[in-house]
Structure formats: structure tokens, C-alpha cells
């Protein structure tokens, strides 16, 4: 079985294509191939679905299935959307500018004309679920907000960037479980006219802090903009230190752009 391994800003994925939807075995497969020691290793597995006819199929080039490293399914993953967009372009499945259907809706993809490693996703509009959430924490977060940027995210802002490395996994895990959401801590870099935001995400399904999270970046950006902490364009810096460009459009869609790496062709020899 052939996978292509991708990395989007340090968030890594295993991608393959199929003409068939999941028959019940892909969650188990994802858990096995994403395992770092006895598998290939990745934060998630993505299946590009071809030939799926529907009344709206002319609006998009393909569909996808996304699986977290623990085998659970997710409606959306921002970094994976950039990886699969690049994969579809390189494999000749879709043009430089195209859309695909996720469980969170139609996602627009644009491959940069001068640098094909730069990929932009249109993640659509976010939803504010709840704000002014008070949770005792050692980071100095006065209140949290719960947003849906394709998947749910809890967002809290810190006043000291050292708090992004002062991480208490048991607390982050408890918040993740309580709200069934990814947990984000973010710091506004005042030295850059507030156009740079440092952040980290404890991701459900991975159950750890990842090198980057695209929907997490979108949620942090959306909340920072809502609070007047940044403008309609900002640079977000995840733990991988790769730069992510985010922009809010006039129709309130979040555009998300960054580098994508096509790393390796992997052959899975174990039986499914």
C-alpha cells in the first residue's frame, strides 16, 4: 500500500487516494500507520476520494476522509488541507486553484504560482461558540473562548511568551476532555505592531502538543481579531517556528497560507 508523507509547518500526514469510501477498517489502519515506532509515523492519515458523484460534485475536484493518529475521524484539519491540495496538484488530480469537499464543507485551495510549496486554504467562516469562560490555570489566562474553525478550539491569551513552554500536559488534557476541543495558548508579539502571534495547540486525536495546527491558528487569529489584538492580516508562529499567513476576507472567510513539504513515498507492508 502506497502513502505519500507530507508535512505542513511540521504537522505531518500520510496521504493515499481511493475510489471507495471507508468500509470500516480505515480507523484501525490510521492508528497503525501513524504510530511513531511500529508504523510510518504521522499526526494523521488522509484519504483523497475520487469518483464520488453527488449533485454538488461539479463544485469540487475530490472529497476526503481525515483520521487523527489515534484513529478517530475529524471534520477538518487546516494543515492537512494544504497538504492534500498540494498532493492533488502534483498528482495531476486537480489544477493549481481548486476546491475539495471536507466534512466541514467545501475548502478552497490555491497553489502559489511562483513557489508551488506555498499553499493557501480557504477555511471558510468560523463560529464563536462561547466566550468569557473562566478556568483556573497557571498560565495567567483570564478567560477562554470556544470557537469552531472547522473543529472546536479553546483559545486563551497569555501575557508572557514563556508560558507557551511552561506546559502542564495534565491540565491541557483535562481542558481538552472537558470541552471536547483542541486547546490553544497564544501570545501577541507587541514588538511587531501586533502582527505576529505565537501559539501552541494541544490537539485531540493526537493527545499532545503538535508542531503546528492550522485550524488552531485560524481560531487564535479569529479571536485575536475579535478582541482587537491584531488586524485583518497576521503572521502566526507555531512551535515549528514556520510562518503562517492568515487573513480575514470581506465575507469573513479565513485564508491560511504556508509552506508544504512532500517528504517521502512510503510502502506499508503489513496487512490492512
Half-sphere CA count of 111, side-chain side, radius 13 A: 20
- pLDDT tens-digit map of 179-192: 999 999 999 997 76
Residue pair 212/8 in contact by the 8 Å Cβ criterion: yes
Distance CA 34, CA 15 (A): 11
What pLDDT is stored for residue 56 in this prediction? 66
pTM score, two decimals?
0.89
Domains and CATH numbers, the chain: 2-110+259-267 (3.10.310.10), 127-251 (3.10.310.10)
Helix, strand, coil percentages (3-state) for the chain, rounded to 5, are: 20, 40, 40
Pairwise CA distance, residues 113 & 266, whole Å: 28
**Per-residue pLDDT, 234:** 96
Cα distances (Å, whole numbers) of residue 177 to 34, 123, 152, 174, 202:
22, 25, 12, 5, 11
- Tens digits of per-residue pLDDT, 105-144? 999 999 999 999 999 999 999 999 999 999 999 999 999 9
Q: What is the pLDDT of residue 41?
A: 95
Q: Which residues pair with 14 in a beta bridge?
A: 5, 45
At residue 169, the pLDDT reads 81
**Taking the alpha carbons of 77, 184, 227, 197 in that order, is the dihedral positive or negative?**
negative
pLDDT, average across residues 257-271: 90
DSSP code string of 128-168: EEEEEE----TT----EEEEESSSEEEEEE-S-GGGGTS--
Binding site feature residues: 11, 68, 78-79, 182, 203-204, 214-215
Per residue in 204-255, pLDDT (tens digit) is 988 999 999 999 999 999 999 999 999 999 999 999 999 999 999 999 999 9
pLDDT at 195: 85
| Integer Cα distance of 210 and 11 in angstroms | 7
Q: Residues comprising the binding site for substrate?
A: 11, 68, 78-79, 182, 203-204, 214-215
The catalytic residues are 77, 213
Amino acid at each position: 500500500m502506497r502513502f505519500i508523507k507530507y508535512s505542513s509547518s511540521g504537522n505531518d500526514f500520510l496521504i493515499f487516494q481511493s475510489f471507495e469510501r471507508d468500509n470500516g477498517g480505515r480507523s484501525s489502519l490510521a492508528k497503525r500507520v501513524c504510530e511513531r515506532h511500529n508504523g510510518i509515523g504521522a499526526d494523521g492519515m488522509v484519504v483523497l476520494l475520487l469518483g464520488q458523484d453527488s449533485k454538488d460534485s461539479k463544485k469540487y475536484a475530490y472529497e476526503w476522509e481525515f483520521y487523527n493518529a489515534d484513529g478517530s475521524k475529524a471534520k477538518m484539519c487546516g494543515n492537512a488541507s494544504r497538504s492534500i491540495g498540494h498532493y492533488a496538484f502534483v498528482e495531476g488530480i486537480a489544477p493549481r486553484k481548486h476546491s475539495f469537499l471536507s466534512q466541514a464543507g467545501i475548502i478552497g485551495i490555491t497553489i502559489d504560482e511562483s513557489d508551488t510549496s506555498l499553499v493557501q486554504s480557504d477555511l471558510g467562516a468560523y463560529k464563536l461558540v462561547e466566550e468569557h469562560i473562566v478556568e483556573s490555570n497557571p498560565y495567567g489566562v483570564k478567560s477562554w473562548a470556544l470557537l469552531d474553525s472547522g473543529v472546536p478550539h479553546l483559545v486563551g491569551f497569555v501575557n508572557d511568551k514563556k508560558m507557551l513552554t511552561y506546559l502542564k500536559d495534565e491540565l491541557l488534557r483535562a481542558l481538552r476532555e472537558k470541552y471536547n476541543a483542541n486547546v490553544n495558548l497564544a501570545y501577541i508579539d507587541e514588538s511587531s505592531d501586533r502582527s505576529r502571534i505565537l501559539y501552541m495547540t494541544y490537539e485531540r486525536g493526537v493527545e499532545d502538543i503538535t508542531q503546528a495546527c492550522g485550524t488552531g491558528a485560524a481560531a487564535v487569529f479569529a479571536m485575536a481579531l475579535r478582541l482587537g489584538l491584531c488586524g485583518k492580516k497576521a503572521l502566526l508562529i507555531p512551535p515549528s517556528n514556520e510562518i503562517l499567513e492568515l487573513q480575514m476576507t470581506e465575507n469573513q472567510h479565513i485564508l491560511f497560507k504556508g509552506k508544504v513539504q512532500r517528504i517521502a513515498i512510503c510502502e506499508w507492508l503489513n496487512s490492512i
